């Protein structure tokens, strides 16, 4: 099918479901505005769409996607901070209560970073190197030469993003008073498993077994 026709077919399905069968929901969202309690910072990868992975309705999750789900450190300067702007809006205007960093296996951004770390030069690439340098410490920690370290670097990248979230003073104050929680999740596109970072152990485990997530 022509790719644009594929998009149009999908749009017609969405419209039939949400604007005809579930018109109450979309009318309410239009009239009262959005009030999502969850922000997801995810990778742009086409295989890890948060709305699909979490079976979310319109209005349920506020999403920002970029290469490798990175959060830059707090830098209130005149640069163009797309991700930080979205975080600011989610926290200060929407008042989200949970922020999930959603990394994943076989991440192209992390693969590019590992390649640079191995000394390779990415030909004809102007932006990806500087962007992925945000997570350089993840490579430095786990090495880029060992193919077996791929998942470890991806998970360390998620931890870097959580650490950078805490560099925003208005995030840290909300975390400290308990009105905001930060989560690091890693999706395995091979198995469909979702693993969550357990801050107590520093390890990633299947989401159902992380006590804090289960309210234990």
Please list every residue from 74 through 113 that binds Zn ion, using CB under 5 A.
107
d(CA 137, CA 157): 8
Residue closer to Zn ion, measured from CB, 105 or 174:
105
CA-to-CA dists, residue 161 to 30, 43, 58, 156, angstroms: 32, 12, 26, 9
Catalytic residue, from 6, 15, 27, 47: name it.
Answer: 47
SS3 129: helix
Nearest to 172 by CA among 184, 158, 162, 186: 162
Residue 146 a catalytic site member: no
Whether residue 52 contacts residue 130, with contact meaning beta carbons closer than 8 Å, is answered with no
- Confirm whether 57 is a catalytic residue: no
Point out which span in 36-44, 53-61, 71-79, 139-147 binds Zn ion (CB under 5 A): 36-44
Concerning whether 139 is annotated as a catalytic residue, the answer is: no
Q: Which is nearer to Zn ion, 107 or 156 (CB)?
A: 107
Decide if residue 154 touches Zn ion (CB under 5 A). Answer: no
114 has catalytic annotation: no
Min CB(152)–Zn ion separation in Å: 15
List all residues 6 or more positions away from 210 whose beta carbon is below 8 Å from its beta carbon.
196, 198
- Annotated active-site residue 107? The verdict is yes
Q: How many CA atoms lie within 13 A of 42 on its CB side?
A: 19
Gap between the Cα atoms of 83 and 66, Å rounded:
8
> Minimum Å distance from CB 161 to Zn ion?
12
43 belongs to the binding site for Zn ion (CB under 5 A): yes
Q: Is 116 in the site for Zn ion (CB under 5 A)?
A: no
Active site residues: 43, 45, 47, 104, 107
Q: Which residues are at the interface with Zn ion (CB under 5 A)?
A: 43, 45, 107
């Amino acid at each position: 099918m022509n790719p644009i026709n594929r998009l149009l077919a999908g749009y017609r399905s969405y419209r039939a479901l949400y604007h005809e069968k579930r018109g109450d929901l979309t009318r309410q969202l239009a009239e009262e505005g959005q009030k999502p309690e969850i922000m997801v910072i995810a990778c742009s990868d086409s295989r890890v769409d948060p709305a699909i992975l979490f079976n979310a309705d319109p209005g349920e999750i506020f999403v920002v996607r970029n290469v490798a789900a990175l959060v830059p450190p707090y830098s209130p300067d005149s640069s163009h901070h797309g991700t930080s702007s979205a975080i600011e809006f989610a926290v200060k205007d929407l008042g989200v209560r949970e922020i999930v960093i959603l990394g994943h296996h076989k991440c192209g951004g992390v693969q590019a970073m590992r390649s640079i770390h191995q000394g390779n030069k990415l030909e004809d690439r102007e932006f990806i190197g500087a962007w992925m340098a945000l997570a350089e410490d993840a490579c430095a920690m786990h090495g880029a030469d060992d193919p077996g370290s791929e998942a470890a670097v991806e998970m360390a990248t998620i931890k870097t993003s959580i650490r950078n979230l805490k560099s925003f003073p208005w995030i840290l104050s909300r975390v400290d008073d308990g009105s905001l929680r930060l989560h690091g999740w890693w999706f395995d596109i091979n198995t469909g498993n979702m693993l969550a970072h357990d801050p107590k152990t520093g390890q990633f485990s299947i989401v159902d077994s992380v006590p804090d997530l289960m309210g234990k």
